[in-house]
Structure 1
């Protein structure tokens, strides 16, 4: 089919020019449907970078930003995110989801490939498609060079002016034993030690070049003195985009790799301890010392992991990798991009900012609870009773000595307070530019990492106001489905030069659940087939189907061919409609031509 036109609200990284498909004719296009809250979308940005470099004169990547959260509809916030995450290709602002619907996208991220003649030739959801994309691009280059329809040359990307500031999109901060502050300067790929005033640079760790050694670092945790003495380093750093943890020796400045192979996690979940350097991690976002070990907010796979600096092992602490909200014993809970951690003063509770469910949650005695939050698609800025209060994509959390909790309510531009005694939420400050962390110093000062303003600020004590703000739901078009038996089909075609890999059993895995659970009368669970009959409850008018699919492939044209795992987690909003279809197709990887 002919690719639909790219009609958006505006364009970034083009020097102000609005692009059309006619402007791009002769190039291979990869349309990357993303939203800047989505960790899987950030993974795909990293997967696309090598392809952009390799095929620079034949390939044009276009970011199609189709927002989930209300804050992401703000063009200023989108421009900041494009800089924050180093997006070096044109981006079209699809604020009204028009392009999303034209291309029938159903998941973040989704990739659509358009050939040089303007035809849509492939669609794929999720991450892990880089190798398959490379093979497809090679085939398209051969075909269209032979046809004379490929036009090599510079693309439409126009870089913005280079910014200047001490910090650039800082992520997290901790207080050091000497009273100085250590800040993850995420967009500068380094750590900055600042004096206690939060404004004077004392020293910097890292080269400020992506990957040397840091790549968008985030969380920091100071190890207990005895543990640090044995481990040989004082601070553990979540090196987020490298999918690793690093140790920092404050005396020598030495930076040591302590966990993570550097490969993003795409394997089965187990409860075993693994050698920390051999383990695959996935976007570790924050860290805390709890339960006599480092707890990792593993945002990329919606889990908590643990790391033992003495034994040099890691393992799963909580979560199943299903992206949703469900409480209970730690192995069985569902989380959604946990991004902030803090331990209560008595050490009994681990508080969690669970960003994609806009929730404040906590672990105590091996059980996870939700203090505030209602699910993947409910968010807003509402104070009051915890059962009615709403956040919007919080990234940071800080436990106070009195038992209350401060929340960096990032997409509301606010610092909020949860009182567990009254079970109420209030607003402390509603004029903060994308706060990403809150730090309470030993002296009781509250320091906020004001990420989008590229600075640290101090909060005035005792300022609290009640906000009766708006409640939002994601305006994602739901899928209308008939009640009763419905066929769920996940469509997967191996990439060129690959085949399904049966050497370790079935290469396919499909996990289905629902929220509310009553929506699904039959069909819940795990199977090794990408097609399944499910039964939808006619008495539940709407809900969300949680679908996790993965497919393992291997190369067919090499003696020692590589193995590849493609995986996607869909949260599909559905409406029960007697006139709706009885089939739900989801594309994991589909070829249209």
Structure 2
């Protein structure tokens, strides 16, 4: 298809929108749309098909426009998964797909045209499709062949095709839900019987690098609890389990203490067990019992009150805020746009923090006749006033990726920049014009960000926040006493160049990052840590010289290099020794020991139910021994019956089922730590044999071996089941033989 044809359709759509702006009724609007279709469709050239050998998601075979879509209305969504505007279009596409199924004649196809190098990888596209719950077919047009052939200029662009794959409408940017409904509905009605109802070869893709028993699904952000005091029942770490639409609270060993939210997205306050989130991201502890959560798809910030057992809205309405909104409304009335990260800042009133330090004026002379008590009362009043001025005000800072701004929710009445007072509960934009760019400025409202997605605080005499400005691939800084915005590293000197990305360790803007999403600052070392997401790396920035270097840790278990897959969240311990990493596409959390430069998995898991000894337990008094260096244990066992009824016997031909379970000294099931050689941990015959070997060296001192039997017995008149368990102790030593064998004979009374 020639470029001029698409330009012709685009111009016709502009004329249509101008005409629709003045209509008075739905009938007039629909008539204008139909006239547009009649004008455009006969004159434009059918667009070319997709190139061969492209990789597809959610289909069992590649989609051909000519073969599968020639008699349908088709929406082509040109997108890239880093783009927040493309993200905002997805609910509109889901809405139109609910209104019109494939069988009704509508096909939605995602055409993924990468901005970043990392996004060209089909496995990353597949992960994004699953993370964003996209059910329609998506093609990875990694080299943007169709983008260039069609003359597409921006993400997102929606191109609506009529029969014969002829373009009818072009919609650029986000916020076209109504037009999408109008245009598709009228096109389906207009072409009527020409529309085919044949289905597409759909096949929703499976999981990516995730096991069914994994606790986490695309975890994005995390926050260590700064109020943690070491009690077993208080949270140590909060994790945004984004793909499961929930927040997990764990202890220091990774055991889950609380789960807030559920596997289905929603927007519901109230009790913790009933609360719902939609793709939560950034987290921040306001106190030891209150956690703020960026509920990103609900365009709000929520508060989890652990002491009260409730969830409530702090800011946001559940609907996306309008572009260019500067805020100023109160809490749950103020709309936001995709809040991505959040942090707490405590400050004295700004006039007190920036006013020159002058000696206090002398107190006025006491009036004649003033008593000593009245003088003391006057001093007390002055002290109270001073304490009030020195009192810290709490400000919740919010990185709103969807509006490219930094917002503030004032939890206390605060005097802010330029001595402007914001009352408690006010939510307002404090930096960013709303334009997507990387513009620095001494005036915060004229500065510009490009999808800010991570923030962290640096205190001191000149407090500031560092911002992961993902679409400009840079780290920005915002001074919290003046509002000045500048660049720490990455990006480009041209504020409009959002393609200055790469993987270069250097200084300032000469360093290059690729779509960073997370930051964490260590005050003791004056070092900033960056989740360089699309480079799959963790980098550190020496803030003074602005020097960027890559950390190359090894895994503590294997000494192999640690590998990350789009890490997006960081949190650092107060002593600066450990960095917790949300390794998003690996569906896990890792701990990086910064002192030793080694990494290990933080195993998030549910607490196993309390173990109780089985009934009919028989203790085998003789201990067995096992070499701690991957020793073998061979057990031969036989069971005989001891009964008052001499005619009780094992039922001929019936299986005599047995099962081996191994637990450690804490009663944790560790059967999976053993390899069963030439046998299994279960069987159906007596007598029996089991050979087991430690998979790896252990530091444990003992195990408890449980052999559970479920037998079938009979006497002269009836058959009946009988169950019992034999328990023995395995002592783990370094001095015993590598292969130890034992014979266990046990007599049981089936009448007990």
TM-score range normalised by the length of the shorter chain: 0.7 to 0.9
Is it true that 1:422 corresponds to 2:545 in the alignment? Answer: yes
Structure with greater strand percent: 1
Matches within 5 A, 1:125-524: 125-145=172-192, 148-161=193-206, 164=212, 165-176=214-225, 177=228, 178=234, 180-198=236-254, 200-212=255-267, 213-224=276-287, 234-270=290-326, 273-290=328-345, 291=347, 292-309=394-411, 311-328=424-441, 329-346=443-460, 348-364=463-479, 365=481, 366-373=483-490, 374=492, 375-401=497-523, 402-429=525-552, 431-444=563-576, 445-462=578-595
Offset from partner CA, 1:327-366 (integer Å, 9 cap, x none):
1121110100000000115381211100000001111132
Is it true that 1:51 corresponds to 2:109 in the alignment? Answer: no
Asked if the contact 1:34–1:64 (Cα under 8 Å) also holds between the matched residues in 2, the reply is yes
Asked if the contact 1:320–1:333 (Cα under 8 Å) also holds between the matched residues in 2, the reply is yes
Change in Cα spacing, 1:260 to 1:55, as seen in structure 2 (3 Å) is same
1:151 CA drift (Å): 1.6
**Tell me, what secondary structure is at the counterpart of 1:387?**
helix
| Partner Cα distance (2:171, 2:202) in 1 | 24
Is it true that 1:90 corresponds to 2:137 in the alignment? Answer: yes
Is it true that 1:63 corresponds to 2:123 in the alignment? Answer: no
Asked if the contact 1:188–1:208 (Cα under 8 Å) also holds between the matched residues in 2, the reply is yes
1:325 CA drift (Å): 0.9
Offset from partner CA, 1:53-98 (integer Å, 9 cap, x none):
1111322110000000010011111111111111111001110010
Change in Cα spacing, 1:306 to 1:283, as seen in structure 2 (3 Å) is same
Asked if the contact 1:415–1:427 (Cα under 8 Å) also holds between the matched residues in 2, the reply is yes
**Tell me, what secondary structure is at the counterpart of 1:223?**
strand
Aligned to 1:486: none
Change in Cα spacing, 1:334 to 1:137, as seen in structure 2 (3 Å) is same
| Partner Cα distance (1:415, 1:436) in 2 | 10
| Partner Cα distance (2:307, 2:296) in 1 | 24
| Partner Cα distance (1:312, 1:143) in 2 | 51
TM-score (norm: length of structure 2):
0.58
**Tell me, what secondary structure is at the counterpart of 1:263?**
coil
Which ranges of structure 2 fall in alignment gaps of 5 or more residues?
A: 1-43, 229-233, 268-275, 348-393, 413-423, 553-561, 599-752
Which ranges of structure 1 fall in alignment gaps of 5 or more residues?
A: 226-232, 466-593
Aligned to 2:372: none
| Partner Cα distance (1:464, 1:16) in 2 | 45
| Partner Cα distance (1:462, 1:195) in 2 | 23
RMSD of aligned residue pairs (Cα, Å): 1.9
**Tell me, what secondary structure is at the counterpart of 1:6?**
coil
Aligned to 1:496: none
1:141 CA drift (Å): 1.3
1:442 CA drift (Å): 3.1
**Tell me, what secondary structure is at the counterpart of 1:296?**
strand
Change in Cα spacing, 1:98 to 1:416, as seen in structure 2 (3 Å) is same
Change in Cα spacing, 1:268 to 1:363, as seen in structure 2 (3 Å) is closer
| Partner Cα distance (1:179, 1:16) in 2 | 47
Matches within 5 A, 1:565-576: none
| Number of aligned residues | 454
**Tell me, what secondary structure is at the counterpart of 2:194?**
coil
Offset from partner CA, 1:220-265 (integer Å, 9 cap, x none):
111146xxxxxxx711111101111111012343111221122212
Change in Cα spacing, 1:134 to 1:418, as seen in structure 2 (3 Å) is same
Offset from partner CA, 1:154-194 (integer Å, 9 cap, x none):
34432123562210001100113335211111111111112
Offset from partner CA, 1:372-399 (integer Å, 9 cap, x none):
1214111111002223111100000000
Asked if the contact 2:324–2:434 (Cα under 8 Å) also holds between the matched residues in 1, the reply is no
Asked if the contact 1:428–1:463 (Cα under 8 Å) also holds between the matched residues in 2, the reply is no
Change in Cα spacing, 1:267 to 1:450, as seen in structure 2 (3 Å) is closer
Aligned to 1:574: none
| Partner Cα distance (2:200, 2:309) in 1 | 41
Asked if the contact 2:77–2:157 (Cα under 8 Å) also holds between the matched residues in 1, the reply is yes
TM-score (norm: length of structure 1):
0.74
**Tell me, what secondary structure is at the counterpart of 1:31?**
strand
Spell out structure 1 runs of 4+ moving beyond 6 A: none
- Of 15, 25, 47, which residue of structure 1 is paired with 2:60? 15
